[in-house]
Structure formats: C-alpha cells, structure tokens
C-alpha cells in the first residue's frame, strides 16, 4: 500500500516517504504538506467537518499540515480539478479554443486581427 501513495497535489509517488507521515512531511516534488486532511482515508467533503472520524477535532485548513491523531494516508488522494476543467471547457466553447498557430508576441497578426474585427482597411506601408 505504501508504494501506491501519491502526493495529493501533484501526483508524485511517495514510496520514499516513511509512513506514518510526520506532521512536517512534504512532497519532494512540489513541497506540499502531506499530513493533511485531503490525504487522509477519513476525508469526505460531503460529511460534517469533511471527516468520517466522529471524534476527531475539526480542522479548518484541509490542505495544511495538522496534528490529527486519526490521520491515515490513502492511495489515490490526488483528484483532478473538475471545477477548473469544466470552467476551461465552458470558456473554450464560448470563445473558441486557443490557437497554437497565433503567437501572443506576433504584433502584426494581432493588429490585422483587430483591424478585421473593427472593419478597418489594412494600412499600406
């Protein structure tokens, strides 16, 4: 099981981190705290205090190191940011997906796109 643990924030394997995690344990890749609620088997956002352990003290910051004595790391703690992915998909649907062909540093193409947008005739050099 210990070899299946991954960082809740970046997904890096935590096979080299000794279990149980110390309160100050951090991910070597992203420096995220590891002794955190979102990394615990009892973490459940849909229940009171987001914890299924009924006698655990409430923790306000679920993504910061804490002193909870019931902490048990769980495999698969990293979750994709569904809200961010959904928002990006909605923006892409509204404005169109960003084009890799157009460079943000290409001033001439940006100016011609603006001229076209406002119905202006291109300037003759």
What is the model's pTM?
Answer: 0.62
Q: Output the pLDDT for position 121.
A: 75
The reply to whether 122 falls in a domain is no
Rounded to whole angstroms, the Cα distance separating 70 from 37 reads 10
Residue 111's H or E segment, with its range, is helix 107-117
The reply to whether 114 falls in a domain is no
Which of these, 87, 67, 62, 88, lies nearest to 77 by C-alpha position?
62
Q: Output the pLDDT for position 68.
A: 94
Q: How many helices (H) and strands (E) does the chain have?
A: 2, 0
Q: Output the pLDDT for position 101.
A: 53
The reply to whether 67 falls in a domain is yes
The reply to whether 66 falls in a domain is yes
Its domain, for residue 23, covers 1-97
Which of these, 16, 83, 5, lies nearest to 39 by C-alpha position?
5
Number of structural domains in the chain: 1
pLDDT averages per 10-residue partition of the chain, 125 residues: 80 90 93 94 92 94 94 82 73 75 65 83 62
| CB burial readout 16-51, b (16+ within 10 A) else e | ebeeebeeebbbeeeebbbbbbbbbebbeeeeebbb
Q: Output the pLDDT for position 125.
A: 52
Beta bridge partners of 73: 40
Rounded to whole angstroms, the Cα distance separating 1 from 52 reads 21
Which of these, 84, 87, 83, 12, lies nearest to 39 by C-alpha position?
12
The reply to whether 56 falls in a domain is yes
Which of these, 102, 104, 108, 101, lies nearest to 122 by C-alpha position?
108
């Amino acid at each position: 099981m210990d070899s299946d643990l991954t960082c809740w924030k970046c997904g890096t394997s935590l096979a080299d981190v000794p279990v149980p995690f110390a309160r100050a344990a951090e991910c070597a890749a992203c420096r995220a705290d590891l002794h955190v609620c979102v990394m615990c088997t009892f973490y459940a956002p849909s229940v009171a205090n987001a914890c299924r352990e009924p006698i655990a003290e409430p923790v306000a910051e679920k993504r910061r190191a804490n002193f909870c004595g019931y902490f048990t790391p769980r495999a698969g703690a990293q979750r994709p940011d569904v809200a961010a992915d959904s928002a990006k998909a909605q923006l892409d649907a509204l404005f169109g997906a960003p084009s890799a062909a157009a460079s943000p540093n290409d001033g001439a193409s940006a100016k011609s796109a603006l001229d076209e947008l406002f119905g202006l005739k291109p300037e003759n050099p």
